[in-house]
Amino acid sequence: MASPVSLQRSPLSSSPASPLQRLSTFKTSDTGASGLAVAGITPASSALDTFGNDPIFSAFLSPSFSSTSFSSAALSSGSPASTAEKLHNAIRLLESQLRSEVLSRHHDLLSQLSSLKSAEHSLSTVRSAVSSLQSSVRRIRSELSEPYASIRFKSLQLSNLHRATELLQHTIRVLRLSKKLRDMAPDQIIDLEKFDLAKAAQLHCEILSLCDEYGLTGIEAIDEELKYVSEIGDKTRSEAMKVLERGMEGLNQAEVGTGLQVFYNLGELKLTVEQLVNKYKAIGVKSITTALDMKAISSSGGGGYGPGGVRGSGTPQIGGGAKAREALWKRMESCMDKLYSVVVAVWHLQRVLSKKRDPFTHVLLIEEVIQEEGPVLTDRVWEALVKVFAGQMKSAFTASSFVKEIFTTGYPKLITMVENLLERISRDTDVKGILPAISTEGNDQMVSAIEIFQIAYLTLCLGRLSDLVNNLFPVSSRGTFPSKEHISRIVSRIQEEIEAVQFDGRLTLLVLREIGKSLLLLAERAEYQISTGPEARQVTAPATTAQLKNFTICQHLQEMHTRISSLMKGLPAVAADVLSPSLGAVYGVACDSVTPLFQAMLERLESCILQIHEQKLGVLDAAMDNNKSAYMEDLQKSILHFRSEFLSRLLPPSNTAAAGTETICTHLVRNMASRVLSFFIRHASLIRPLSESGKLRLARDMAELELAVSQNLFKVEQLGAPYRALRAFRPLIFLETSQLGASPLLQDLPLNVILHHLYTRGTEELQSPVQRNRLTPLQYSLWLDSQGEDQIWKGIKVTLDDYAAKVRARGDKEFSPVYPLMLQLGSSLTNTSLSLNQ
Alpha-carbon span 557 to 304, nearest angstrom:
54
DSSP 320: -
Alpha-carbon span 480 to 470, nearest angstrom:
13
Name 218's Cβ contacts closer than 8 Å, sequence gap at least 6: none
What DSSP letter does each residue of 517-531 carry, written as one string? Answer: HHHHHHHHHHHHH--
Query: Is residue 5 pLDDT above 50, yes or no?
Result: no
Alpha-carbon span 358 to 337, nearest angstrom:
34
Q: Select the highest-mean-pLDDT range: 38-47, 209-218, 682-691.
A: 682-691
Q: Find the mean pLDDT for residues 534-555.
A: 90
Whether 263 is covered by a domain: the verdict is no
Alpha-carbon span 505 to 511, nearest angstrom:
10
Same domain, 22 and 119: no
Q: For the ranges 14-28, 374-388, 617-631, which has the lowest average pLDDT?
A: 14-28
Task: Please give the residue that has the higher pLDDT: either 108 or 344.
Answer: 344
Name 830's Cβ contacts closer than 8 Å, sequence gap at least 6: 790, 793
DSSP 364: B
User: pLDDT exceeding 70 applies to what percent of the chain?
Assistant: 86
- Could you give the angle at which helices 451-472 and 401-409 cross, rounded to 10 degrees? 70
Q: Find the mean pLDDT for residues 681-704.
A: 92
Whether 610 is covered by a domain: the verdict is no
Whether 241 is covered by a domain: the verdict is no
Span between the terminal Cα atoms of the chain, in Å: 144
pLDDT at 266: 84
Mapped onto helix, strand or coil, the DSSP state of residue 619 is coil
Same domain, 280 and 418: yes
Tell me which of 422, 449, 476 is where a domain ends.
449
Bridge partners, 357 (sequence order): 364
pLDDT at 4: 38
Same domain, 325 and 408: yes
Give per-residue pLDDT as tens, 570-603. 888 888 889 999 999 999 999 999 999 999 999 9
Same domain, 571 and 651: no
Q: Find the mean pLDDT for residues 747-760.
A: 93
What DSSP letter does each residue of 271-311 carry, written as one string? Answer: HHHHHHHHHHHHHHHHHHHHHT-HHHHHHHHT-TTSTT-B-
Q: Find the mean pLDDT for residues 136-142.
A: 86
Whether 259 is covered by a domain: the verdict is no
SS3 sequence, 689-746?
Answer: CCCHHHHHHHHHHHHHHHHHHHHHCCCHHHCCHHHHHHHHHHHHCCCCHHHHCCCHHH
DSSP 438: S
Bridge partners, 310 (sequence order): 316
- Could you give the angle at which helices 545-568 and 573-610 cross, rounded to 10 degrees? 150
Q: Which of 435, 446, 416 is nearest to 506 (CA)?
A: 416
What DSSP letter does each residue of 22-74 carry, written as one string? Answer: HHHT----HHHHHHHHHHT--TTS-HHHHHHHSTTGGGGGSTT--HHHHHHHH
Long-range CB pairs of 202-205 (<8 Å, 24+ gap) are: 202/265, 203/177, 203/178, 204/229, 204/232, 204/233, 204/236, 204/265, 204/266, 205/265, 205/266, 205/267
Query: Is residue 54 pLDDT above 60, yes or no?
Result: yes
Q: For the ranges 126-135, 220-229, 744-753, 779-788, which has the lowest average pLDDT?
A: 220-229
Mapped onto helix, strand or coil, the DSSP state of residue 383 is helix
323, 308 contact by CB (below 8 A): yes
Same domain, 778 and 794: yes
Q: Find the mean pLDDT for residues 328-332.
A: 91
Output the CA–CA distances (angstroms, integers) from residue 291 to 56, 335, 338, 789, in the order listed. 106, 6, 11, 76
Long-range CB pairs of 780-784 (<8 Å, 24+ gap) are: 780/686, 781/610, 781/679, 781/682, 781/683, 784/682, 784/752
Mapped onto helix, strand or coil, the DSSP state of residue 583 is helix
Residue 630 belongs to domain spanning: 615-734
Output the CA–CA distances (angstroms, integers) from residue 107 to 101, 104, 112, in the order listed. 12, 8, 9
Give per-residue pLDDT as tens, 63-81. 787 888 888 877 777 777 8
Same domain, 282 and 424: yes
pLDDT-based confidence at residue 7 (cuts at 50, 70, 90): very low
Alpha-carbon span 758 to 789, nearest angstrom:
16
Same domain, 428 and 482: no
Task: Please give the residue that has the higher pLDDT: either 582 or 478.
Answer: 582
Same domain, 280 and 389: yes
DSSP 217: T
Q: Find the mean pLDDT for residues 666-694.
A: 93
Q: Which of 100, 104, 222, 107 is nearest to 167 (CA)?
A: 222
Asked if omega into 412 is within 30° of 0 (cis), the reply is: no
- Neighbour count for residue 308 (Cβ, 10 Å): 23
Same domain, 661 and 567: no
Query: Is residue 262 pLDDT above 60, yes or no?
Result: yes
DSSP 314: S
Listed in sequence order, the DSSP H helices in 473-544 are: 484-501, 505-529, 534-537
pLDDT at 43: 44
Query: Is residue 455 pLDDT above 90, yes or no?
Result: yes
- Neighbour count for residue 306 (Cβ, 10 Å): 11
pLDDT-based confidence at residue 802 (cuts at 50, 70, 90): very high
pLDDT at 26: 38
Q: What is the mean pLDDT of the chain?
A: 82
Q: Give the H or E element holding residue 647.
A: none
Q: Which amino acid is at 329?
A: W
pLDDT-based confidence at residue 477 (cuts at 50, 70, 90): low
Cα–chain center distance at 338: 29
Alpha-carbon span 756 to 373, nearest angstrom:
85
Query: Is residue 452 pLDDT above 60, yes or no?
Result: yes
- Neighbour count for residue 331 (Cβ, 10 Å): 19
Q: Give the H or E element holding residue 631.
A: helix 630-642
Here the CATH number for the domain that contains residue 479 is 1.10.357
- Burial-class residue 610 by CB neighbours within 10 Å (0-12, 13-18, 19+): middle
Query: Is residue 758 pLDDT above 90, yes or no?
Result: yes
Sign of the CA dihedral running 516, 521, 522, 528: positive
pLDDT at 53: 74
Alpha-carbon span 423 to 445, nearest angstrom:
14
Q: Find the mean pLDDT for residues 681-686.
A: 95
Q: Give the H or E element holding residue 770.
A: helix 769-773
pLDDT-based confidence at residue 38 (cuts at 50, 70, 90): very low
Angle at 373 between CA 372 and CA 376, to 5 degrees: 95
Domain total for the chain?
6
Q: For the ranges 34-43, 225-234, 280-289, 731-740, which has the lowest average pLDDT?
A: 34-43
280, 290 contact by CB (below 8 A): no
pLDDT-based confidence at residue 179 (cuts at 50, 70, 90): confident
650, 548 contact by CB (below 8 A): no
Mapped onto helix, strand or coil, the DSSP state of residue 316 is strand
Alpha-carbon span 668 to 654, nearest angstrom:
17
Give per-residue pLDDT as tens, 645-656. 999 988 887 655
Alpha-carbon span 796 to 639, nearest angstrom:
34
Give per-residue pLDDT as tens, 511-529. 999 999 999 999 998 888 8
707, 640 contact by CB (below 8 A): no
What DSSP letter does each residue of 218-229 carry, written as one string? Answer: T-HHHHHHHHHH
Whether 176 is covered by a domain: the verdict is yes
Whether 497 is covered by a domain: the verdict is yes
pLDDT at 319: 47
Alpha-carbon span 741 to 643, nearest angstrom:
40
pLDDT at 42: 44
Query: Taking the C-alpha atoms of 263, 269, 274 and 275 in order, what is their torsion angle to the nearest 10 degrees?
Result: -20
Give per-residue pLDDT as tens, 403-437. 899 999 999 999 999 999 999 999 998 888 888 88
Query: Is residue 201 pLDDT above 90, yes or no?
Result: no
- Neighbour count for residue 789 (Cβ, 10 Å): 15
Same domain, 789 and 654: no
Whether 440 is covered by a domain: the verdict is yes
pLDDT at 641: 94
pLDDT at 236: 83
pLDDT-based confidence at residue 684 (cuts at 50, 70, 90): very high
Task: Please give the residue that has the higher pLDDT: either 830 or 715.
Answer: 715
Give per-residue pLDDT as tens, 265-299. 888 888 989 999 999 999 999 999 998 876 766 55
Output the CA–CA distances (angstroms, integers) from residue 91 to 36, 43, 75, in the order listed. 10, 13, 19
pLDDT at 478: 63
Q: Which amino acid is at 114?
A: S
Whether 244 is covered by a domain: the verdict is no
Same domain, 368 and 416: yes
Tell me which of 412, 431, 449 is where a domain ends.
449
Reported pTM: 0.66
Same domain, 159 and 187: yes
Task: Please give the residue that has the higher pLDDT: either 504 or 680.
Answer: 680
Tell me which of 415, 449, 483 is where a domain ends.
449
Query: Is residue 18 pLDDT above 80, yes or no?
Result: no
Alpha-carbon span 737 to 728, nearest angstrom:
15
Output the CA–CA distances (angstroms, integers) from residue 590 to 9, 79, 584, in the order listed. 143, 139, 10
393, 450 contact by CB (below 8 A): yes
